[in-house]
């Protein structure tokens, strides 16, 4: 008698930010669509997973656990008190779901779930989007069954690591290379919440930049809380300049289209942003968030700089040298050939098959391949 092949059962643990949840959902969709797997998410009530996971149609279980890194002693002690309870809860979820593999994507729930899996003898795959792993992944990295990383420097923290990249929406890979003759367009992208330093400094240099770079247009995403003030600062600074040459928005819909229109992107260097830049083949001037845990945004930016697809300016440099931002932007925007070359080099860091490769690795670990 031939037994019917059973579906792999994958428990995905972690979250908090879109940088963790969006790639995890892409892998989950690939697991279901291409591998016929069953998926369960485990997260915390404080993360974006409470909204994004149910909206995507996946089941979600919650554990109570908090941060350990860069927090007060009181918060750290509370988290340490909750950790054993969260490990026990995750062990129950793994047992009840009959998980074949636990996929840790980083964030508060990832550590307890990965620990519970290892205690219970369930295979584990860690996902690390940044060049420097977060605390949860650093704690479990040497004991995982395997790891999927976005940047090669992160591989040293894990057993059996593979550079898979981050899942990025397909439309980013379809963006055409930079044209040689169109008027220059700068996209300023501060992430969903905006970037305070970019919202402050860009209006200060906008008039001089627009005056020195012929035909330049600027689209600035400032975040909901800062859009009005940023728009007012542009208006005051750019009085007498054609208002159609700059635009400030709280949010940007259709980010792939915004990237395609851009000749240069000024942005933070979160892992998802960097992955989208690479997929789109767009050159960037990156300003890492100085307060990011373990300075991981700077490490992400340095990988892109090393590949030749980006330049890096630190917040300290911008604060100490007021003219540096305008001079750097103008120098890049006026050198079309350099921008085109940077775009080509940026694309060398892209991984079009990231979601499918991670899903395949999970199914391999499950024993259902």
- The CATH number of the domain holding residue 143 is 3.40.50.2000
CA distance 318 to 199: 13
**Is residue 327 a part of any domain in this protein?**
yes
Whether the Cβ atoms of residue 286 and residue 311 lie closer than 8 Å to each other: yes
- Does position 268 have pLDDT exceeding 90, yes or no? yes
Tens digits of residue pLDDT in 165-200:
999 989 999 999 998 888 999 999 987 677 889 999
Tens digits of residue pLDDT in 5-18:
578 999 999 887 77
Q: 149: which 2 tokens?
A: 């990383």
Q: What is the mean pLDDT of residues 277-300?
A: 91
Instruction: Say how many residues make up the chain.
Output: 369
Which has the higher per-residue pLDDT, 280 or 195? 280
pLDDT of residue 252: 87
92 and 216 share one domain: no
242 and 343 share one domain: yes
**Mean of the per-residue pLDDT values of the chain:** 90
223 and 284 share one domain: yes
- Does position 31 have pLDDT exceeding 80, yes or no? yes
339 and 295 share one domain: yes
CA distance 97 to 315: 46
pLDDT of residue 138: 81
Q: What is the mean pLDDT of residues 34-60?
A: 92
- Does position 153 have pLDDT exceeding 70, yes or no? yes
248 and 113 share one domain: no
Q: Where do we find the tokens 């959902």?
A: 25
pLDDT of residue 77: 59
Within 10 angstroms of residue 152's Cβ, the number of other Cβ atoms is: 12
Residues 6+ apart with CB under 8 A from 354: 23, 26, 164, 165, 166, 167, 168
Quote the domain boundaries for residue 143: 9-168+352-366
pLDDT of residue 180: 82
pLDDT of residue 264: 98
41 and 137 share one domain: yes
Reading phi first (left if > 0) and then psi (alpha if -120 to 50, else beta), residue 236 is in alpha
Q: 216: which 2 tokens?
A: 């330049």
Please tell me the pTM assigned to this model.
Answer: 0.86
- Does position 71 have pLDDT exceeding 60, yes or no? no
pLDDT of residue 68: 54
pLDDT of residue 204: 94
- Range with the largest mean pLDDT of 19-23, 77-81, 295-299: 295-299
pLDDT of residue 2: 44
Whether the Cβ atoms of residue 144 and residue 124 lie closer than 8 Å to each other: yes
**Is residue 119 a part of any domain in this protein?**
yes
- Does position 79 have pLDDT exceeding 80, yes or no? no
- Does position 86 have pLDDT exceeding 90, yes or no? no
**Is residue 80 a part of any domain in this protein?**
yes
pLDDT of residue 211: 93
164 and 176 share one domain: no
337 and 357 share one domain: no
Q: What is the mean pLDDT of residues 34-55?
A: 91
**Is residue 1 a part of any domain in this protein?**
no
Tens digits of residue pLDDT in 210-266:
999 999 999 999 988 899 999 999 999 999 899 999 999 998 888 999 999 999 999
Q: What is the mean pLDDT of residues 124-153?
A: 88
**Is residue 300 a part of any domain in this protein?**
yes
Whether the Cβ atoms of residue 108 and residue 293 lie closer than 8 Å to each other: no
339 and 196 share one domain: yes
Position 1 confidence tier, pLDDT thresholds 50, 70, 90:
very low
pLDDT of residue 3: 46
138 and 181 share one domain: no
The total of structural domains in the chain comes to 2
Which has the higher per-residue pLDDT, 269 or 17? 269
CA angle 301, 273, 202 (to 5 degrees): 80
Q: Residues of the chain with pLDDT > 70: what percent?
A: 93
**Is residue 2 a part of any domain in this protein?**
no
156 and 43 share one domain: yes
Whether the Cβ atoms of residue 107 and residue 66 lie closer than 8 Å to each other: no
Whether the Cβ atoms of residue 127 and residue 148 lie closer than 8 Å to each other: yes
**Is residue 183 a part of any domain in this protein?**
yes
Q: What 3 state SS string does the chain have?
A: CCCCCCCCEEEEECCCCHHHHHHHHHHHHHHHHHHCCEEEEEECCCCCHHHHHHHCCCEEEECCCCCCCCCCHHHHHHHHHHHHHHHHHHHHHHHHHCCCEEEECCCCCHHHHHHHHHHHCCCEEEEECCCCCCHHHHHHCCCCCEEEECCHHHHHHCCCEEECCCCCCHHHHCCCCCCCCCCCEEEEECCCCCCHHHHHHHHHHHHHHHHHCCCCEEEEECCCCCHHHHHHHHHHHCCCCCHHHEEEECCCCCHHHHHHHCCEEEECCCHHHHHHHHHHCCCEEECCCCCCHHHHHHHHHHHHHHHCCEEECCHHHHHHCCCHHHHHHHHHHCCHHHHHHHHHHHHCCCCCCHHHHHHHHHHHHHCCC
220 and 161 share one domain: no
**Is residue 43 a part of any domain in this protein?**
yes
């Amino acid at each position: 008698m031939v037994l019917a092949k059973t579906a792999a059962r994958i428990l995905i643990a972690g979250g908090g930010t879109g940088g963790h949840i969006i790639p995890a959902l892409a892998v989950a969709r690939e697991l279901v669509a291409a591998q016929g797997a069953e998926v369960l998410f485990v997260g915390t009530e404080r993360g974006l997973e409470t909204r994004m996971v149910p909206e995507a149609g996946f089941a979600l279980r919650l554990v109570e656990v908090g941060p350990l890194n860069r927090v007060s002693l009181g918060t750290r002690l509370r988290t340490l008190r909750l950790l054993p309870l969260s490990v026990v809860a995750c062990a129950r979820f793994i047992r009840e779901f009959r998980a074949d593999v636990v996929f840790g994507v980083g964030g508060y729930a990832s550590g307890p779930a990965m620990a519970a899996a290892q205690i219970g003898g369930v295979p584990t795959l860690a996902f690390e989007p940044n060049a420097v792993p977060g605390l949860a992944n650093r704690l479990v990295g040497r004991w995982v069954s395997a790891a999927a990383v976005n940047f090669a420097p992160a591989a040293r923290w894990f057993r059996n690591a593979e550079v898979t990249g981050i899942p990025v929406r397909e439309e980013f890979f379809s963006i055409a290379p930079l044209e040689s003759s169109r008027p220059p367009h700068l996209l300023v992208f501060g992430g969903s919440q905006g970037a305070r330093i970019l919202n402050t400094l860009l209006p200060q240099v906008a008039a001089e930049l627009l005056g020195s770079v012929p035909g330049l247009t600027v689209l600035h995403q400032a975040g909901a809380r800062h859009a009005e003030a940023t728009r007012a600062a542009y208006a005051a600074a750019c009085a007498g300049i054609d208002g159609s040459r700059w635009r400030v928005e709280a949010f940007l819909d259709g980010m792939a289209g915004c990237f395609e229109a851009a000749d240069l992107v000024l942005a933070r260097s979160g892992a998802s942003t960097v992955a989208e830049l690479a997929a789109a083949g767009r050159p960037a001037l990156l300003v890492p968030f100085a307060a990011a845990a373990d300075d991981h945004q700077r490490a992400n930016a340095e990988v892109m700089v090393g590949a030749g697809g980006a330049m890096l300016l630190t917040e300290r440099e911008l604060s100490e040298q007021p003219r540096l931002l305008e001079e750097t932007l103008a120098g890049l925007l006026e050198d079309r050939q350099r921008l085109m070359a940077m775009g080509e080099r940026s694309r060398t860091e892209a991984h079009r098959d990231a979601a499918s490769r991670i899903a395949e690795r999970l199914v391999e670990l499950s024993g259902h391949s």
